[in-house]
Structure formats: structure tokens, C-alpha cells
Chain A
């Protein structure tokens, strides 16, 4: 799928294109609200390769969701650098960040967050219309995506008229409509039952197999097991990582291996 012509552009002050799609250096985020500042991220150094499916794990308040929000530019970093596709996100203004989110990054939420009064198809095409003036092409792409995620027949339903899993797949299609360089997913199966969650994970696996870079935050070990690499976070810091792709553990034993690793990390 071609990326449409309009979109975010490289800044003059960026560094030479990194081999990593995402690269953070000493990234920190402090929330100043309340009496004492809350350090949500502390000197996080993270690299994500193109085409990788990276899973962020950690308990509530560990900083994984904050990391995704800072990486997407929805939250401003308090310090450090974020390199995305060769550009410094932390130096972008609001409009440049919007352009980045429009084409560079797709976002999937735990709460799904489809626009309730739009049909699934309308939810998917709207961000596409932001980028492309060829609306036929956007419609075609949306139809294809919905079909690929198994909800093509539901395209004219409103979110409230389909199941949570179907809604989340529509949200994935929406995030994918502009063929982003990276797909960021925050607890995408958190609000779903087991069957719906599996369908969503299957969707992620399917699009990752086509080369899509995905960063997914999750509590769920089963969800984490679809990743290439798991990064474990606690208190705003990366405490360790586990490479599933290079692991010699059989797929069916992965959950146990990941659990064992997490336990060793203090999960």
C-alpha cells in the first residue's frame, strides 16, 4: 500500500537515518500534577527495528502506556530524544506531530475509541480522507482492510452494533488505513473476552507478517507471546528484555517460558 504524498516531513536538524525505526535516548517523562512530581519514564533507551513486533509489559503504572503516548507524540517528553524514522519527534511542533500521527504512526487503544456515531467503514476511511484526495482509493483500501481483518460484512454497522472484538479490529483497520510505519497498541485486548482477544491478536499477527512494525503494551502473557521481543518495564524504567523470535523454545511452551522470565524480573 503506498503512502500518500502529503504527510510529515524531515526536519533540517535531524540526524542521519537510523537503522532502527524507533530509537529513544535517555527518554523521561514527569507529570507535575499534584503535590509531588510523578516520574512516569526514567531515562528510557529503546530501539525498535523495522518490521518488529515489540511487546511492552509491566504492571499498572510501570510506564508502558506513557511510553507509547510519548513515542506517538500524544504526550510531550520531559527529557531525552525520540528518533522515529530518522526524525526527532521530541523537537516537532503540534502540526508536525499531527502529520506524523496521520501517516507515520497508527494507534490502537484498549478502550477501542471508535467514533460511536460513525459506521465501522466511516471510522476507517475518515483518517484516510485526511491524507489522500483520492477518496475512491481510500474507500477501496478500507474495504480491503476490513475484509482482511474478517469484518468486511459489518462495515455499515455502528460500533454499538458489533462485538468488542469486531470493534477493535475495526480500530486496527483505522490505524492501518494510511499504512503507518509503526502501529502502536495500548492493551488492545484488555477490554475483550478471550475469543475476541484472540481474533484481534490474529489480526496483529497477520499484519505484522506483512512487515508492519508494531509496538504493543499489554498485561496479558498470552498476548505478549505473539511478539518478537518483550520489554519489561517497572517504575518508568526498562528492566529487561526477552527475545522470543530467537528463542529456541517451542511455540506451545512460550507462555510458560515468558512467565518464568517475568517472574525472574519480579512480575
Chain B
């Protein structure tokens, strides 16, 4: 055993370059796999940890205390087994006009909530910037970290809040980690004001919102308890609910999706790495034929020789895989810490380390099994042939590839390149596959960036309406009636179409037992088609008793075109037929859209508050807004169509760029490593052939170009295959991936210019990766052709 170990170590030292390359492939594969799985599994961990530490509520009810008695409701919840705590009802108000910071209006809606003077430890708040206190003082506000990170707000800054008598300045006295509201994608965002402070923002008669957070002993009981609650009320609950699922997705939703993408790529990348490893080990054996022959001649049995090489790769795996996994762990730690920065909670190391340990053992074991399988070929080595020729006799008894006569059109380097490819089909395929993945990763990065980059001008593709301008009736001291504003908007020359809308919650029956599901919906009046309200199937509602529903709601509730359901709207039952099914990234594909007439069946006085305006082509949006606001003053608040998604979109874009950029980078590096490895192995295995070609007059440049040309063919083949795969499957695959967030028909837009730049860059990158190691061919001394 000692001699076997000695030879294995000696082999690793003797072939340092090759050992490093094989090690690099193993390390890179481990890195990719760990990163994919790590991000996917651990992205939520700091959020869960923070929520547990701060005793977060799993259910938060929002309701109007004029409809539901807040004390009896709290009493009901407190009496339920499995409920750990129920907060005092918290007075809250959603500020639909948004606040201002440094003259810029916030694109997220704020939900100002009064913080009790002596709050319980339920939903405890952690101050990360500002002075310690139990609640904000008069004229102060506490903001959650997700919002402050996005806007660069610090303790001591001042925000202007729209109040009953104009803008009210509130000083940010603390930046806090709020279990419910610190998510980067939370909207509306809860901000805290001192007890009794809300009337400074809004008339006390308009204070009609209460928040009731409920903490359960086990979060998994949330659905069952909610169903029990709804049944207890006979399905009649007119209010909102924020579940733990909603809160978590506000922290990490888009990133978890990208973690899935990385993991899918990593799995594929690891398959390529295994194939490359098989080729590498086989090549190493070929290159060591003479040594194997000598060992056999000295009395080593085939099993002993196989053990040497198995051990050699096991040693390499033991060195390389922990490096890759370790680097992956560091990367996951950094990525998760960055992506969950707003929870200000350390990323737990233990699960990452445990996962690293398991993966290291699994991958090393896999490499061992793989190497053991491949090294069985040493039993076929005939010592005499191996010692004399340094290769298996008769290995070239079969011609392969295209006959040279059929390549008479080509230059000799091209002929050599094509013939070499024919000889090493498996290796060529593996390299091409690495290029395929690198190209797919790059295409994903380029085209997703482009697609989401155009989202603000293609909102309808993502399930929003396609308004150029959003107008709100905003007047406090004096305002406009709905009919008047409609008249104003619809008669302006620049306006092509107007739809008015407001949000409304609907309680949909889950079954016949009275259990319901709360769904956020939209009530629309006006030209829905002209405003870009589209459906995957069916049509928009055109009158009372009709609705279209979001695809995820349809799936979860088992509804489809033609279904009829009784929905509790504002506490009143309304029978609605499904006439359309739409997709939307908004609220992850959940929701419904109905006409104003249907809402009036529940409450004849209900009025929409928002106005989506499509402008005639060529109209300047900014000028339209300034003209409107100049004419009607504070009675209207107008914003560009994408205003309320702009900042969140920027966050999503940042995440996409980071993730896809990382993915593309890793795969390009992996492809480069494969190419360098393949090039060096090709040269090592074909020293005799290159020596002959050198002797017959091929110039150094021709020798190198024959190698680089071969890689070029594989790169071009890989890129073409990747493009074909991309164009034929990307939309379907992305639809599958994004289907979980409501985009079952992903509106992929391929960026022609980006792709046109990307393709030659990838090919050039591959050629450059081959050019550098190809210089090794110049070092071949034809003296190696001499047999003494």
C-alpha cells in the first residue's frame, strides 16, 4: 500500500499542470453545485432566524374596526389552541400618496402604524441606526431597513408625509429591523409613528384601519387556524391578511427563484465536469502507458495499478473539492448576507458547514467511484507494448473522421483540426457542451436583463396595465369628484383611453365547508383592452357578475373559464362567473379583476380612486403630468406609469444582474478551464503527431492554429447548439420557472444586438483560451520521435 501511495503522489507531482487542471475542474464543479444548492436552500435562513428571534407573527389581520369588533376578534384568536400571542390592535393607515425624501416621492406605499408606548415582545423591533427607545416620539418616525437600504435613508433624516393640511415633516429617529416590513420587496411598508400620532397625518375620522398580528406556536398551523377563523365567521370577513408566506417572499422571493436557476445550471455543469473528468482520467492513463507497462513488468497486478490511479484522483479530489465547496460556502455566505442585508442578522454558518461537509463527502465519493470505474482499463494494458511504444499497440487500427481527400478544400491546419476532432469525439462533445452551458448562461443574462429592463415600457406583458400615467384623486383641502376627473381626463386630446380602478379583497370559497381564501383583487371601470388588461384565456369582464382571475388563483382554487363562484366582497356575497384567466407578476399571479358594477352589488357607494391613462402616441408624459398638476393642483396626483414599480424593479434588476452575471462568469470560466485542459491533453496525447507535423514543415503558427481551429469548431458548434436550444426552449423553460411567480407565459424578449455581440465574444473567448496553452505544442522536440 505504501508503494501505491508513493507512486500516486509522485504521479501528481510529476504532472503538476494536469493535476492542477483536473483539480480546477473538480473545484469549479463543486463550487457551482454548492452555490446553486446553497443559495436555493439558505436564502430564507437569516429571515427565519430573525423572525424567530423577534417573535414574528405568522398572521397579521387588517380590518376596519367599524365592521369587525376588534376586541371580540382579538378574544377569539387568544382563545384558540396553538396561538402563542395576539398583539393589541394597532391603529394603522395606508398612505396612498406616498411620502417624500429629499424632494423625491417614494415609490412604495407606506402604512403608518402607531407603536404602543410599552410594546410586547411579539414582533419586537431591533434598532440598527438611531437612539434606543421603546417607541417613536412626537414628530418622529421609525423606518424599516429594507426601505432605508433602498433609498439611502439614515437616522436623523427627515421625510415629508402627506398630511391633512399639507406635507408633515417627520424625523427618522430610528432605522429598525421589523419582522414584517424589512423586506426589500415589501409593499406597502409598515412604518412606525408614536402612539396617538396618526391624527397629525390624517383626519381622525379617517382613521379606520387596525392591524392585529397573531403569533402562533407553530407557523405550520397558520392555514388551519385561518380556515377555522373564517368558518367561525361563516365566511364573512371583510378585511385583509398578511401571511408569513407573503412576508418571506417580500424578503427573498425573486432571489429564491434565481437560486433555482443557478441550481439547475449547476447540476448540468456537474454532469459536464464528470464527463470531462472521465476524459481526463482516461487521457492520463493513455499518457502513462509506458509507466503502467513498467509497473506491470515490476510485478504490480492490474488491480494494484488501477488502485494507484484511483488513489491519485481520490487525493486530487480530497484537495480540490474542499477548496471548491469552501469557496462556494464563502460565496453563498456573502450572497445570502448581501441579499438579506435588510434583516441585519448574521447568516447561520452551521447549516452551510453541514451542507458543505455532506457535499464534500458525496462528491469525493462520486469521484472515487468514477475513477475506479475508469481505471479498470489499465487491466487491458499489455506491458510489452506499453514499454516499447508508450501506447497500446493497434490503437490506431481504425481510421476515424472524414478522409483527407474530402478535405482537399481546406488548409492543412484545418484538416488536422477536423481529423483530431474525429479522433476525440467524446472530448469534443464535452467541450462543446461546456460552451453550450456558458452560452446559455450568457444568453440568460443578456436577455433576462433586456426583458426586465424593458418592463417599465411593456408593463402589460407582465400583467400590469399599460398606463402611461397614473392619476390619483388626492385633494385633502379641496378635491375632485370621480365623475369630474373622468370628464377632465377623457376629454383631453392627449388621452387615448382611461380606466379607473381600486383594490378590493375578495373571500373565495375553498370548499363547501365555509373555508375561504382571501384574494386581493382589482375593480376596474373603463376601457380595459385599451389599457392593456390582457388575458391568457377568455376575455375581460364586461359587466356585472363577471370577472377574470389570476392564473395562480385559478390553479389554487380550481377555477377556470365558465366557473361560477360566490365571493364575499366587502362582506357581501356576490356571484361571479369567470370569463378570463390572466397572468401577472403582480401579487405572484394571484388576484381577480371585475367591473365596477360588480363592486356596486356589494356596496353601491364604492368608488375607484386610481386612474390609469393611456396617452396618444407622441404625447410627452412628463409634460402631460405637469400640465395636469398645474391645472388642478393638489386635487390630483399624477405619476408616470411605471413609477410605483421603478425602485423595486431596480432591485430585481440588480439581483438578476448579480445572479446571472455570476452564472455566466462561472460557466465561461468553466468553459475556459475545459478548453485549457482539453488543449493541453490533446497536445500531450498527440506529441508524436505534432512532432511529425513539425518535421514535415508545419510552421509554429500553423501548429498552434490547428489546435485553436479545432477548439474554434467546437466553440462554434457549442454556440450554435446553445442558440438553437435558447430559441426553441428558453421561453418554455422560463415560463416554467416564472410560472411560480405568476408569469406562466414569460414575455421573453431576445436582445438581438446583445446576442450579436455576445456570440462572437464567446467564440473569441474560447479561441483565446485555447491559444494560450497551445504554445505548448512549440515545445515539442522531434527528438521524442526517436526510438533508441
Task: Tell me the A residues contacting B by CB distance below 8 Å.
Answer: 60, 65, 69, 72, 74-75, 94-95, 98-103, 107, 109-111, 113-119, 121-122, 125-127, 129-131, 135, 139, 158-161, 174, 178, 186, 191
Contacts and interface: CB of A to CB of B under 8 A. Distances in A.
Contacts of B692: 113-115
Contacts of B695: 72, 74, 101, 107, 113
Contacts of A125: 404-405
A178 B698 CA distance: 13
Interface stretch (B199-207, B390-398, B721-729, B758-766): B390-398
A65 B783 CA distance: 9
Given A99-B699, A101-B696, A111 B415 contact: no
Contact of A98 (B401, B415, B688, B694): B694
B95 interface: no
Interface string B400-418: 1101110010011001000
B412 A129 contact: yes
Given A95-B701, A102-B697, A115-B692, A161 B397 contact: yes
A186 B785 CA distance: 11
Contacts of A75: 781, 783
B600 interface: no
A126 B788 contact: no
In the complex, the 9 A-B pairs of residues with the closest C-beta atoms, listed nearest first: A102-B697, A116-B396, A127-B696, A98-B699, A111-B787, A122-B404, A135-B408, A101-B697, A160-B397
Given A65-B786, A101-B696, A139-B408, 11 more contacts: A75-B781, A95-B700, A98-B702, A99-B699, A102-B697, A110-B787, A113-B688, A126-B412, A129-B411, A160-B394, A191-B787
Q: Specify which of A103, A113, A122 lies most central, judged by the most chain B CB atoms within 10 Å of its CB.
A: A113
Contacts of B781: 74-75
A1 to B, nearest CB: 16
Nearest to A75: B783
Q: Specify which of A74, A100, A110, A139 lies most central, judged by the most chain B CB atoms within 10 Å of its CB.
A: A74
A124 to B, nearest CB: 10
Contact of B697 (A115, A131, A159, A161): A131
B689 interface: yes
A117 B788 contact: no
A129 B783 contact: no
A117 B699 contact: no
Contact of B398 (A115, A131, A158): A158
Contact of A99 (B691, B693, B697): B697
Contacts of B401: 117
Contacts, number: 108
Given A117-B423, A119-B399, A160-B397, A94 B700 contact: yes
B694 A69 contact: no
Contacts of A186: 786
Contacts of B787: 110-111, 191
A98 B698 contact: yes
Contact of A103 (B398, B412, B697, B786): B697
Interface string B701-726: 11000000000000000000000000
A60 B697 CA distance: 27
Given A60-B788, A111-B787, A116 B408 contact: no
Contacts of B399: 117-119, 158
Interface of B: 394-401, 403-405, 408, 411-412, 415, 419, 423, 688-689, 691-702, 778, 781-783, 785-788
Contacts of B689: 115
Chain A binding surface, main DSSP class: helix
Contacts of B415: 126, 129
16 contacts: A60-B788, A74-B782, A75-B781, A95-B701, A109-B786, A117-B400, A119-B403, A126-B412, A127-B696, A129-B411, A130-B698, A130-B702, A158-B398, A178-B697, A186-B786, A191-B787
Contacts of B394: 160
Contacts of A126: 404, 412, 415, 693, 696
B107 to A, nearest CB: 64
B696 A102 contact: yes
A129 to B, nearest CB: 5
A65 B782 CA distance: 12
Nearest to B697: A102
Contacts of B412: 126, 129-130
B559 to A, nearest CB: 65
A197 to B, nearest CB: 15
A191 B785 CA distance: 13
Nearest to B690: A115
Contacts of A110: 786-787
Contacts of B408: 129, 135, 139
A72 B695 CA distance: 9
A122 B406 CA distance: 11
Given A74-B695, A98-B694, A118-B404, A111 B785 contact: yes
Contacts of A130: 412, 696-698, 702
Contacts of A121: 405
B405 to A, nearest CB: 7
A186 B395 CA distance: 25
A174 B786 contact: no
A98 B785 contact: no
Contacts of A159: 396
Nearest to A177: B696
A127 B688 contact: no
A118 B415 CA distance: 11
Nearest to A108: B695
A176 B445 CA distance: 55
Given A116-B396, A129-B412, A139 B782 contact: no
Nearest to A69: B783
B673 to A, nearest CB: 27
A204 to B, nearest CB: 18
Given A122-B403, A126-B415, A98 B786 contact: no
Contact of B396 (A95, A131, A158, A178): A158
A57 to B, nearest CB: 16
Nearest to A138: B408
Q: Specify which of A60, A107, A126, A178 lies most central, judged by the most chain B CB atoms within 10 Å of its CB.
A: A126
A117 B699 CA distance: 22
Contacts of B404: 118-119, 122, 125-126, 129
